[in-house]
Structure 1
Amino acid sequence: MIDLLGGAESSFGQLNALTITATLGVVTATLALWSIMRPKGFPPGPRGLPIVGSIFSMNDSPEVIFDKWSKKYGDIFGVKIGERWMVVLNGQALIKEAVIKQGVDFADRPDFYSMKIFTEGFKDIAFSPYSETWKLHRKLAHTALRHFATGKPLQDLISSVYPKIEKYLAEKEGKPVDPKLLLTLLMYNVLTQMCFGQSKELEDPTIVAWKDMNDDINEGVGLGLAADFFSWARYVPTSGPKMIKDTTDKLLGYLRSMVDESRKQYDPENINDFYSLLLKAQDDARKEGENVDKMTDTHIFQTISDIFGAGIQTTVETLYWALALLATYPEIQAKVKTEVNDVIGRNRLPTINDRGKLPYTEATLYEVMRYSSIAPTAVPRATTRDTKLGGYSIPKGTMVMMNTYSMHFDPQEWDQPDKFLPDHFLDTSGTVRDHPPSFLPFGAGRRGCLGEAVAKADLFLIFTWFMQNYTFSRVPGKESEDILKMIPQTAAGRLLRPYEVMIQKHDQ
């Protein structure tokens, strides 16, 4: 009897274990299938795998993958990457509909773990959520740019660095030069004066270290951290978050030294740089008892960090492409030089007022922006609320990518888009087409580039000065080497690998 009961109990236990196992299997399978079920009305797109979605399909730079998928699914498609649902917009019509006509709906940012580290808890402008705090700091930054980075003040600031550049290049005469360091030294000097009222030696060791660290983080992050797409990954001790934190500490550490020095010199009666203006706004907020929680030291630091870092990065990367392209296409470089010499000559510096008088030069710069598309998918956005676009439903919090690369290389909008042709920006009368419909290098709408006007002025003044005074050519013996190679598989943008050119000063 006991044996019979024991056998029954044993059989019952085995049956119970099988039932639990089967139930767990069903639950797991259900969760796996649920993980790839699209929200109702969501755009079509790659199905992906359970749990991980289409993350393994992201095996190339984003704009390359998105171009392939758009050909299959259309200009708007949805895809799951890890735990995140993402919508990708292609072509000018959809992108402009989202960023301009439905600007508020598409004005948020994804809460990437890597950016949370880098921005000390999303207290910057570029990656912080769409909020009253974000609006306040964007307005402050806009005021600072308007005060200190327009017209003659900007022109004088940039030209004050030219003698340092001339001395640097004179020492490099006859030797191959990597222009990336040269351009970073130039812009770092401009921005330290603009942001902090401080003048640095051109080759200050801090500048060189900052440039190397910035390059490391751009290349090292690749397509993002696992923790950006899987919430559980932030609790796993992997190398990615540690690398971001260590690099962030060092990068921001360089900036903090300048912030600390400027704070010691701060005089509310003498506001003559970006940081002083922000400190004055902070003082006023405390006196008035308004927005104090939005104007903490961390918020102020992160705002100046955005202005400083973006002010350098965008200009440097665009000019880096420009010099590589003109060394590759010497006939275009020659045409630019001829126009600059005919209009400006050699006896004065280029000025802001020369814009509009150098159509081929300006067209070449715009073509550099189009052809390089250094931010091909812009900074990722997110929806602030449930919305609709292109006939599809997009839930609140969905990550949204604006594939401006698809605009810049659209064969329906550009003749031979894969070729570097300044004529893309000239009409039949030789006038510059500075706003073609399928051209959006600085974004638009509520999250459009805050410093667009400054960046365009920087680029024009520096590029024209270089063309007025120097010739850029291939290194002898390496004329057949392709210097337009990009760093592969990176979310940081279409960044060129390091290259070298010869830089020869014109005879006086």
Structure 2
Amino acid sequence: MQKVMSLLDNFQVSAPLVNALIGIALFWLVKYLFNTIKRIRSLPPGPWGLPIVGYLPFLGDHVYLQFDQLSKKYGPVYCLKLGDFDVVFVCDWPHMKEAVSNDALLARPHAAFFPGAVDDRSFGEMSGNPWREHRRLSLHILRDVGLGTSTLETLVKEEIDQFLTTLVNDGESVDFKKKISHSIVNNISILLFGHKYDHDDPAAIAISAANEEIGSSLNFAGVMAFLPWLTTIVFKFKLFNLAKVLKCFQIVDSHIQDEIDKHQEKNSQEVVDYIDGYLAEMKRREKQTKVDDNFSIDILRRNAASFYGAGTETVASTMEWVMIYLVKYPEYQDKIRSEIADVIGFERRPDFVDRNRMPFTMAFIHEAHRIGSVVANNLLRRASSDTKIGNHNIPKDSLVIFNFWSINRDPKLWPNPNKFDPTRFLTEDGTKVVKPPYLIPFGAGKRNCPGESLANVELFLYIVCIIQKYRVKVKPGTEISTEASFGLSRRPSELPTLIFEKISNSD
């Protein structure tokens, strides 16, 4: 005991040193509190959260609904602490219109969207010059290989012809969700790989299923997006259904890598698809001895995967909402068929240009976009410098979320916003369709979806071709729900089994 006391005596600290340590601790505490208060006062208003996790524990599955409700209490621009980040929400059109055109709000978060699951970034996750170079190159390649041209429209119509045959089932129901997903995948495959797949091709089926699983499993407000330091724990214990999601990423990556390998083996100078164009750009840079880590096979694979996933998810989800409202309101189906009879007839395949003479059909599509709100929130943005939205300060490195759901259900913009009503997009005499600037299903500004033109062509042609050939029905007594599920996109939680009844020209 005496030896222990003797040892303790050796560690005795003088009173001045103790006072100094306490003073330093108090100094840092005061500094921390001062900086915290300064940070909070510099941000838009919002509720307090918990230490470390912030407001994350209070968010449910349908975060866009909570974001909308919070805006009613704290104003259209407010702030939440989500994990490590200050996140500013924009929930009305005047502020969003300003924000989407603000170059200081074009950056993405420093961390990847799915840290640990995907190491390399697609151009959609890049910021600054790397993003600009990749976006410019991607749009250039896609236009060269047919995006926005009559050639691609013809290929889409050929795919739709094949798709329509899969809907015939002797008056019995079909799995529309699976069939439309496989068909949309083919349109993307034409642009990316230069070919499409048979509808029963195992590779196409596998990649469609993998993309669907990724889309439904990765909720927008995922833990890893806002608490990157949790990545190690999540991967170690395979939390949050991680093993299944990782397998899906591997399926997609492996499939795309096989396509890249085939393109490299053919050793052709002809550019017929996106992979050809990207490989050609890499060779051009090598000849110029440009060493650039932003152009690589890994990034090509991520770009292709992003196009594949986003291009399928949004269009397929929108088509599911379209089917919901076609069977819920069969009178609208009849109105579209009437326009088809007047403008196209029942023998000729529709062309995209026919939309200019089919105002009700286009109004129906716009209303499906609005009420479906497939993209309820934008992908996370980051302020690359101190900036403002309206009178609100947005400090550098704050994250910014545009809540499109709030815009699409704003009663100031849309009378009776919860009602499905295509006529809201028509002039009073019903002869013209009017799309207001605040309907932005594919985003707006420099970060808008690069596949918007293809999606518009697909949606019009698929809808018109289906109604031209079939009456879409459900079994008598079927309850049609408009409830939604939410992952990377918002889609019907339960699509009723659909019956496609072939019509005669006299119907």
Instruction: Provide structure 2 residue ranges, at least 5 long, that are not aligned to the other structure.
Output: none
- Counterpart of 2:137 (choices 140, 149, 164) is 140
The CA distance in 1 between the partners of 2:376 and 2:431, in whole Å, is 27
The CA distance in 1 between the partners of 2:166 and 2:176, in whole Å, is 12
In the alignment, is the contact (CA less than 8 A) between 2:197 and 2:204 conserved in 1?
no
- State the Cα distance separating 1:293 from its structure 2 match: 3.1
Counterpart position of 1:261: 262
In the alignment, is the contact (CA less than 8 A) between 1:58 and 1:65 conserved in 2?
yes
- State the Cα distance separating 1:318 from its structure 2 match: 0.9
Aligned amino acid, residue 493 of structure 1: S
The CA distance in 2 between the partners of 1:452 and 1:267, in whole Å, is 30
Counterpart position of 2:408: 408
Q: Name the Cα RMSD after superposition.
A: 3.1
Q: Is 1:182 aligned to residue 179 of structure 2?
A: yes
In the alignment, is the contact (CA less than 8 A) between 1:377 and 1:404 conserved in 2?
yes
Alignment of 1:307-386 (within 5 A): 307-386=307-386
- Residue 120 of structure 2: SS of its match in structure 1? coil
The CA distance in 1 between the partners of 2:49 and 2:70, in whole Å, is 13
- State the Cα distance separating 1:419 from its structure 2 match: 0.7
Q: Is 1:107 aligned to residue 103 of structure 2?
A: no
Aligned amino acid, residue 309 of structure 1: G
- State the Cα distance separating 1:116 from its structure 2 match: 4.0
Counterpart position of 1:492: 488
- State the Cα distance separating 1:27 from its structure 2 match: 11
- Residue 166 of structure 1: SS of its match in structure 2? helix
Change (3 A) 1:27 1:176: farther
Counterpart position of 2:167: 169
Change (3 A) 1:142 1:223: closer
The CA distance in 2 between the partners of 1:233 and 1:332, in whole Å, is 49
In the alignment, is the contact (CA less than 8 A) between 1:62 and 1:491 conserved in 2?
no
The CA distance in 2 between the partners of 1:351 and 1:242, in whole Å, is 44
- State the Cα distance separating 1:389 from its structure 2 match: 1.7
In the alignment, is the contact (CA less than 8 A) between 1:321 and 1:372 conserved in 2?
yes
Aligned amino acid, residue 98 of structure 1: A
Change (3 A) 1:411 1:441: same
Counterpart position of 2:71: 70
- Counterpart of 1:153 (choices 139, 151, 158) is 151
- Residue 256 of structure 1: SS of its match in structure 2? helix
The CA distance in 1 between the partners of 2:185 and 2:288, in whole Å, is 35
1:401-450 deviation line (CA, Å, top 9, x unaligned): 00111111110111211111111211224244443132111111121111
Counterpart position of 2:281: 281
Aligned amino acid, residue 105 of structure 1: A
Change (3 A) 1:205 1:173: farther
Change (3 A) 1:293 1:453: same
In the alignment, is the contact (CA less than 8 A) between 2:115 and 2:228 conserved in 1?
no
Change (3 A) 1:132 1:176: same
In the alignment, is the contact (CA less than 8 A) between 1:117 and 1:245 conserved in 2?
no
Counterpart position of 1:505: 502
Counterpart position of 1:226: 223
In the alignment, is the contact (CA less than 8 A) between 1:117 and 1:244 conserved in 2?
no
- State the Cα distance separating 1:384 from its structure 2 match: 0.9
Change (3 A) 1:274 1:114: closer
In the alignment, is the contact (CA less than 8 A) between 1:33 and 1:50 conserved in 2?
no
- State the Cα distance separating 1:118 from its structure 2 match: 5.1
- State the Cα distance separating 1:390 from its structure 2 match: 2.1
Counterpart position of 1:197: 194
Counterpart position of 1:52: 53
1:132-188 deviation line (CA, Å, top 9, x unaligned): 221111011111232212231122111112332233222x23222231111112112
The CA distance in 2 between the partners of 1:113 and 1:204, in whole Å, is 32
- Residue 397 of structure 1: SS of its match in structure 2? coil
Counterpart position of 2:89: 88
Alignment of 1:33-52 (within 5 A): 37=37, 38-52=39-53
Change (3 A) 1:120 1:327: same
1:471-508 deviation line (CA, Å, top 9, x unaligned): 21123342xx2332211xx4512122242211222235
The CA distance in 2 between the partners of 1:34 and 1:451, in whole Å, is 46
In the alignment, is the contact (CA less than 8 A) between 1:196 and 1:258 conserved in 2?
yes
- Residue 476 of structure 1: SS of its match in structure 2? coil
- How many residues are aligned here? 493
Q: TM-score under structure 2 normalisation?
A: 0.89
Instruction: Provide structure 1 residue ranges, at least 5 long, that are not aligned to the other structure.
Output: none
The CA distance in 2 between the partners of 1:118 and 1:350, in whole Å, is 42
1:266-305 deviation line (CA, Å, top 9, x unaligned): 511x222222122222222222234643321122222222
Aligned amino acid, residue 382 of structure 1: R
Change (3 A) 1:231 1:309: closer
- State the Cα distance separating 1:380 from its structure 2 match: 1.5
In the alignment, is the contact (CA less than 8 A) between 2:112 and 2:125 conserved in 1?
no
The CA distance in 2 between the partners of 1:291 and 1:436, in whole Å, is 45
The CA distance in 1 between the partners of 2:318 and 2:148, in whole Å, is 20
- State the Cα distance separating 1:230 from its structure 2 match: 2.1
Change (3 A) 1:43 1:322: same
Counterpart position of 1:245: 246
1:87-140 deviation line (CA, Å, top 9, x unaligned): 00011110110111x1x1100112445534455322x12222x12221111011
In the alignment, is the contact (CA less than 8 A) between 2:369 and 2:441 conserved in 1?
yes
The CA distance in 1 between the partners of 2:213 and 2:417, in whole Å, is 31
Q: Is 1:131 aligned to residue 128 of structure 2?
A: yes
Aligned amino acid, residue 119 of structure 2: E
In the alignment, is the contact (CA less than 8 A) between 2:104 and 2:385 conserved in 1?
yes
Change (3 A) 1:34 1:41: closer
Change (3 A) 1:458 1:34: farther
Counterpart position of 1:464: 464
In the alignment, is the contact (CA less than 8 A) between 1:36 and 1:50 conserved in 2?
no
Moved more, 431-440 or 54-63: 431-440
The CA distance in 2 between the partners of 1:126 and 1:267, in whole Å, is 28
Aligned amino acid, residue 109 of structure 1: R
- State the Cα distance separating 1:34 from its structure 2 match: 7.9
Change (3 A) 1:84 1:244: farther
